Chains A and B, each alone.
Chain A
Amino acid sequence: MNLQSSANEPAIELVGIDKKFGTVHANKNINLSVGKGSIHGIIGENGAGKSTLMSILYGFYHADEGEIRIQGRPVTIRDSQAAIAAGIGMVHQHFMLVENFTVLENVMLGAEGGQLLAKGVAGARKELKRLETDYGLDVDPDALIEELPVGNQQRVEILKALYRGADILILDEPTGVLTPAEADHLFRILQVLRDQGKTIILITHKLREIMAITDTVSVMRRGEMVATRKTAETTVTELAELMVGRRVLLRVEKGDANPGPVLLSVKNLTVKDGRGVTMVDDVSFDVRAGEIVGIAGVAGNGQSELLEALAGIRKPVSGEILIDGKPVGAADPAALRQLGLAHIPEDRHHMGLVLKFEEYENSILGYHHDPRYGRGSMLDLDAVRKSAEEQIEKYDIRPPNARLKTANFSGGNQQKIVVAREIERDPKMLLVGQPTRGVDIGAIEFIHRRIIEMRGAGKAVLLVSVELDEIRSLSDRILVMFAGKVVGEKTSDADEQTLGLMMAGIAA
């Protein structure tokens, strides 16, 4: 099991890496070798141990056993400084940037080069210029981070790593937050980097991306490295099977819709963001019982604000939201939940979960007043834990431990915690934002099934996703949003091209 991943000599070799967290065996005797100047993909189910392995390589965690060799030499990576010194750079899924600093300031942070800023700034500016021309990484060095779109913020993360002299770049689920166009741009950058001799490790759940860009790919399952393939010699179906250990339906079948009365109705809704910019502009639509309405659109075209307004989190400027024909006025999220509205938020880390809570505490977030969880003002922790354990079992959340801190679950399992909580409530209406972001294909299949079951049970489902595939395979009707307006409605058999044009604001 030491398949050389490229003809070139290896840039990274992991030998017998083993890591346990208490009873969880996150990495079991992992061997991996990645050739210099190649792009190596790592795939695997949620909780398979991918991020842990990369954290070990980057010095966040320490392996219980095993050896790391960089460019043929054994190294001890005590912390991220040591990793940087060894030429390893990491692009975190959750960017570690100072929001109100400029790009230049962020890139320099921690590598200022001396006590006086001026010299460092000049040097950094020159270096940024060089990186830009060499790798096609164009970002305005004087732009503030908070004003950049996510795709550009990610480029800053890459620049940061390169600025510190990284030869090896680790990207853990980099496309989760990107629009398809941004993802394409990222891949072009990665290809240039590879051609210039950099070594890249890419973790992703999207097999399409693996096929499109990697040279070699390894599959992890339950802590073990189960296979390594040359990308050119494998298929999506084979990879999916290797990952899950069984055949996976890449597209869930659903019967015809059987729409009932209108449950959720939006009339001339206008919503502004914190800075007063109109994000949702005079939008109207209905969602009926027993149908799934998908909102397609490039991220940032008002879908997030629409969803937040419907969930009672953001106050609309004008317009009306009606549930069961009754205007909800300025109802807050708690009151809306009472009316049978559940909400899987787009941003699980800031909204859907309190990462410092133990799992069972998150399993009741928003529903803690439910009498099932204790009478009067007391919480009945036994009841809470019992229901949490039921959700864990039903949604196959791993590890099955309600007392584990939520931050210590893998990304996909965190998402399942949210989905389980909201769906198990048996709501009448379900708002769903990016339900499968960071979720493995087996779990995608599972979550899609549950959403379709909700539809079958006569619930009204509103789905917001930047994954066009997801929108197309789940929705009965598709509304396309562009610049805050609904620019058109299509049925689910609309072809990708037409939708793509509409999403780009070119009317079709």
Chain B
Amino acid sequence: MSTASVPLPAWINYGVIPLLNLILAFLFSGLVVWAIGENPLEALNFLIQGALGRGDAIGFTLFYATSFIFTGLSVAVAFHAGLFNIGSEGQAYVGGLGAALVALSLDHYVPWYVTMPFAVVGAALFGAAWAFIPAWLQAKRGSHIVITTIMFNFIGAALMVYLLVNVFIVPGKMAPETRTFLAGGQLPKLDWLMALFGLKLGPAPFNVSFIIALVMCYLVWLLIWRTKLGYEMRTLGISPTAAVYAGIPYVRTVIIAMLISGGLAGMMSLNAVMGASARLQVEFVAGAGFVGIAVSLMGRSHPVGIVLAAILFGILYQGGADLSFEMPNITRDMIVVIQGLVIFFAGALEYMLRPAMVRLYQTATGK
């Protein structure tokens, strides 16, 4: 607490400190790799090459990043209103149902660009619906949102498995998934975008939802910093007593913030369900909701930071997969450890380096 009140310029707060945290995370990961008996530098090289070395590698990295942008935005919006939404995972999962229903009903009749707006709305509506009950319980009954959203992750998972196994399964097939969407229910790949940079996308599922994600970044920025609702959310998030004084309705603000948060999480399914696999599968979210928490934390709940953090985690995901392929000693679980270290240093230990930076800054600027 001694140096906490000493102000630091923004370039240190938002530039130097996150970068140092990241470097620390990589140093520790390097130690872990070294302990297993592999060469850390070589491992780093595989990781970077695997994530950014070829067109398809970049495509996969950006595909993962797209999902993380959606879930990161979801966590951030709730966070601005003072709510810790741990339920993006479940909201994304149920959101997939919305996207799939739209795709299944329209793909026979219309091209993808007609389906897309309906799918966006469908995914968002279903995600929002899944956030509604925890939001309502928090707003009306004071049940803690962290607990209820975690519970709803489990309930959502059970519900989806039930639906996929009993309702959507294609008769005669073993896999619990819907039928494959026709082209009218798929989001096309962004190979033209990669081609602009002279890269070939190959099999990577990098698709139009990336652009939707960027649009959402802009809309979230607009919401938080340019609308009256965003102003109310931020007031509530920073000072609940000031919000009461200002006549900001608690119930309404909490519920709306959570609906938007759930909607953004739901849109993650556009990327996975309509962009990549062209069908709704069990467990397609695969932890992206939880990664969203880390992404939002690292990105300081700001859309620009979220995009950068999402790309970083995209690199870790994609590069990590390649790494464990190249160095079988480094298993998938090790990759999770490395991701954990990044979260640990960038999120949890955010303030660890601060006092030292304050000292350095003070010495550098003449005391």
Where the two chains meet, the residues of A that have a C-beta atom closer than 8 Å to any C-beta of B are: 21, 59-65, 78-81, 311-313, 332-337, 343, 345, 347, 350-357, 361, 365-366, 368-369, 373-374, 377-379, 381
Q: Which of B5, B7, B232, B367 meets A368, CB within 8 Å?
A: B232
- Could you tell me which residues of chain B, from 225 to 248, have a CB within 8 Å of some CB in chain A? 226-232, 234-235, 238-239, 241-242, 244-248
Looking at the assembled complex, report how far the CB atom of B81 sits from the nearest CB atom of chain A, in whole angstroms: 13
With a cutoff of 8 Å between Cβ atoms, the chain A residues found around residue B245 in the complex are 311, 313, 333, 343, 345, 351-352, 365-366
Nearest A residue (CB) for B232: A368
Q: B41 at the A/B interface (Cβ < 8 Å)?
A: no
In the complex, are the beta carbons of B244 and A333 less than 8 A apart?
Answer: yes
Q: Which of B6, B231, B249 meets A379, CB within 8 Å?
A: B231
With a cutoff of 8 Å between Cβ atoms, the chain A residues found around residue B239 in the complex are 350, 354-356
Q: Which of A60, A63, A355 meets B6, CB within 8 Å?
A: A60
Nearest A residue (CB) for B240: A350
Q: B105 at the A/B interface (Cβ < 8 Å)?
A: no
- 10 smallest A-B Cβ distances: which pairs? A334-B247, A79-B2, A333-B247, A366-B246, A351-B245, A350-B241, A80-B2, A354-B239, A365-B246, A354-B242
Looking at the assembled complex, report how far the CB atom of A478 sits from the nearest CB atom of chain B, in whole angstroms: 26
In the complex, are the beta carbons of A365 and B227 less than 8 A apart?
Answer: no
In the complex, are the beta carbons of B246 and A378 less than 8 A apart?
Answer: no
Nearest B residue (CB) for A364: B231
Give the docked Cα–Cα distance between A21 and B359 (Å).
17
Q: B174 at the A/B interface (Cβ < 8 Å)?
A: no
Q: Which of A21, A65, A366 meets B247, CB within 8 Å?
A: A366
In the complex, are the beta carbons of A354 and B226 less than 8 A apart?
Answer: no
In the complex, are the beta carbons of A62 and B227 less than 8 A apart?
Answer: no
Nearest A residue (CB) for B247: A334
- Could you tell me which residues of chain B, from 1 to 53, have a CB within 8 Å of some CB in chain A? 1-3, 5-7
Q: B331 at the A/B interface (Cβ < 8 Å)?
A: no
Q: B166 at the A/B interface (Cβ < 8 Å)?
A: no
Give the docked Cα–Cα distance between A277 and B245 (Å).
22
Give the docked Cα–Cα distance between A62 and B242 (Å).
32
With a cutoff of 8 Å between Cβ atoms, the chain B residues found around residue A352 in the complex are 242, 245
Q: B198 at the A/B interface (Cβ < 8 Å)?
A: no
Q: A64-B367, A357-B238 are in contact. Are A333 and B228 (CB under 8 A)?
A: no
Give the docked Cα–Cα distance between A374 and B359 (Å).
44
Give the docked Cα–Cα distance between A335 and B246 (Å).
10
Nearest A residue (CB) for B1: A80
In the complex, are the beta carbons of B227 and A378 less than 8 A apart?
Answer: yes
Give the docked Cα–Cα distance between A345 and B5 (Å).
26
In the complex, are the beta carbons of B242 and A356 less than 8 A apart?
Answer: no
Proximity bits, B127-150, A CB within 8 Å = 1, else 0 = 000000000000000000000000
In the complex, are the beta carbons of A378 and B367 less than 8 A apart?
Answer: no
In the complex, are the beta carbons of A61 and B246 less than 8 A apart?
Answer: no
Nearest A residue (CB) for B355: A79
In the complex, are the beta carbons of A374 and B241 less than 8 A apart?
Answer: no
Looking at the assembled complex, report how far the CB atom of B354 sits from the nearest CB atom of chain A, in whole angstroms: 12
Looking at the assembled complex, report how far the CB atom of A382 sits from the nearest CB atom of chain B, in whole angstroms: 11
Nearest B residue (CB) for A366: B246
With a cutoff of 8 Å between Cβ atoms, the chain B residues found around residue A80 in the complex are 1-2
Where the two chains meet, the residues of B that have a C-beta atom closer than 8 Å to any C-beta of A are: 1-3, 5-7, 226-232, 234-235, 238-239, 241-242, 244-249, 359, 362, 366-367
Q: Which of B7, B226, B366 meets A381, CB within 8 Å?
A: B226
Give the docked Cα–Cα distance between A365 and B235 (Å).
9
In the complex, are the beta carbons of B228 and A374 less than 8 A apart?
Answer: yes
In the complex, are the beta carbons of B3 and A377 less than 8 A apart?
Answer: no
Looking at the assembled complex, report how far the CB atom of A160 sits from the nearest CB atom of chain B, in whole angstroms: 14
With a cutoff of 8 Å between Cβ atoms, the chain B residues found around residue A354 in the complex are 234-235, 238-239, 242
Q: Which of A62, A335, A365, A373 meets B367, CB within 8 Å?
A: A62
With a cutoff of 8 Å between Cβ atoms, the chain B residues found around residue A61 in the complex are 6
Q: Which of B6, B227, B242, B247 meets A350, CB within 8 Å?
A: B242
Give the docked Cα–Cα distance between A350 and B367 (Å).
34
In the complex, are the beta carbons of A353 and B242 less than 8 A apart?
Answer: yes
Q: A354-B239, A365-B235 are in contact. Are A59 and B2 (CB under 8 A)?
A: yes
In the complex, are the beta carbons of B246 and A377 less than 8 A apart?
Answer: no
With a cutoff of 8 Å between Cβ atoms, the chain B residues found around residue A369 in the complex are 228
A-B pairs with beta carbons under 8 Å apart, 24 shown: A21-B7, A61-B6, A62-B6, A63-B367, A64-B367, A78-B2, A80-B1, A312-B247, A333-B245, A334-B247, A343-B245, A345-B245, A350-B241, A350-B242, A352-B242, A352-B245, A357-B235, A365-B235, A366-B245, A366-B246, A369-B228, A377-B227, A378-B227, A379-B231
With a cutoff of 8 Å between Cβ atoms, the chain B residues found around residue A65 in the complex are 366-367
Looking at the assembled complex, report how far the CB atom of A428 sits from the nearest CB atom of chain B, in whole angstroms: 17
In the complex, are the beta carbons of B246 and A333 less than 8 A apart?
Answer: yes
In the complex, are the beta carbons of A378 and B226 less than 8 A apart?
Answer: yes
In the complex, are the beta carbons of B241 and A368 less than 8 A apart?
Answer: no
Give the docked Cα–Cα distance between A357 and B225 (Å).
11
With a cutoff of 8 Å between Cβ atoms, the chain B residues found around residue A351 in the complex are 241-242, 244-245
Give the docked Cα–Cα distance between A373 and B3 (Å).
38
In the complex, are the beta carbons of A379 and B242 less than 8 A apart?
Answer: no
Nearest A residue (CB) for B361: A62
> 18 other contacts beyond A64-B366, A78-B2, A351-B241, with CB at 8 A cut-off?
A59-B2, A78-B359, A80-B2, A81-B2, A332-B247, A332-B249, A333-B245, A333-B247, A335-B247, A347-B241, A351-B242, A352-B242, A354-B239, A361-B231, A365-B245, A365-B246, A368-B231, A377-B229
With a cutoff of 8 Å between Cβ atoms, the chain B residues found around residue A78 in the complex are 2, 359
Looking at the assembled complex, report how far the CB atom of B108 sits from the nearest CB atom of chain A, in whole angstroms: 38
With a cutoff of 8 Å between Cβ atoms, the chain A residues found around residue B5 in the complex are 60
With a cutoff of 8 Å between Cβ atoms, the chain B residues found around residue A336 in the complex are 247
Give the docked Cα–Cα distance between A478 and B57 (Å).
77
With a cutoff of 8 Å between Cβ atoms, the chain B residues found around residue A355 in the complex are 239
Looking at the assembled complex, report how far the CB atom of A101 sits from the nearest CB atom of chain B, in whole angstroms: 16
Looking at the assembled complex, report how far the CB atom of B220 sits from the nearest CB atom of chain A, in whole angstroms: 14
